[in-house]
Amino acid sequence: MEQARQVQQKALKQRLTDRNALYALPVSMLQTTLTVLMKDSLGFNATQAGLVVTLVGAVDILVQGVLIGWFLATLGTIRLGLIALVLVSISYLVLGSIAFLAIPLLLLIGIILFAGSGSLVENALRGLLSEMVGQQEQGRVSG
């Protein structure tokens, strides 16, 4: 029974790491289009856009510096990865809705959700990749 559970865990880890592209591609696109969205939909200037990017960094620091340990201990790597991917998807929907509903509060909610859940999913995916290789390969996988 234990072997079946381990095989199932390994398959789930593989599927989650395969889904990394579902996170990585939109993130890279969002980084280039978010300022255009802020300028065109909300009328933000460069200073305001810079403050939004600063908020992303602050939330990222808070999550990675303070909260990630608790989340990993409480939820585990796999559950955290799944929940974080769902939250990232929701953040994309919130941020995308700004094109139709030019409400700055949506930007604030979307950015906080995006930055927080993005930090969580990145850590979970790195942990899963590290778990999938032997101990001697973990440093190489981590970069």
pLDDT of residue 122: 85
Amino acid 88 reads V
Q: Average pLDDT per run of 10 along the chain, which is 143 residues long?
A: 66 66 71 87 93 92 92 91 91 93 95 92 80 67 58
60/8 Cα distance (integer angstroms):
32
39-58 confidence digits (pLDDT tens)? 999 999 999 999 998 999 99
pLDDT of residue 123: 84
Chain centre to alpha carbon of residue 29? 14
> pTM (2 decimals)?
0.78
